[in-house]
Structure 1
């Protein structure tokens, strides 16, 4: 069995200046850009509380859009579970999978972002059947 949960909203920005994009979204959402976050040249993080979704801005080459990240303690098992539900693998990048839902929406499957999943009430435990949640 493994655990997974929704963890992040990612705002994909096809822009030249990711800092200007972060400034806009920071002001629009009333939340500061996280100052202590590791700065990757193409990413910025909007500060959220521990009980809120992580909110990232990502500088991209494709059209601007948003996507969700699902975090899991077993990347391979979660990808297989989602494939059994109809999703497909698009690309492995660094340490996560870009997936596409049957609806055409892109999302990522990532390793835990805020510590162990079992420490949070909203974690799901999946049974051996990839489509059915198991008992907690």
Structure 2
């Protein structure tokens, strides 16, 4: 059993850098998740990043094929939203679990942002973001 097992390792170990979402419109999905998570925001576009986009033929950050959602200092992982040609067709194999002090109020807030309820259980709710990616919201 791996739960609670911590192996001693000498040297460098892998660490989570980003959680990546494949999606049809990275900018709008990143804004949705920035509104969901109060400790993350869409990374600002400086002039160098805007120039890089222009060199790729992209004049508007709204059309950026890869949008970063960064946490406040010390908050990780980052969330990355990348454009893919295909839509979501099956259940997620990995999903985020979120906590809330007021489950009912948070479900109402998230559905107001564009999430939809997939299933409701006694102390948690499965929701889907605007592109259908499932995530769970658990109460206190």
Q: Same fold (TM over 0.5)?
A: no
> Where is the helix percentage greater, Structure 1 or Structure 2?
2
Q: Which bin holds the TM-score, normalised by the shorter protein?
A: 0.3 to 0.5
Structure showing greater radius of gyration is 2
TM-score normalised by length of structure 1: 0.37
* More relative contact order, 1 or 2 (CA 8 Å, 6+ apart): 1
Q: TM-score by structure 2 length? A: 0.36
- Structure with the larger strand share: 1
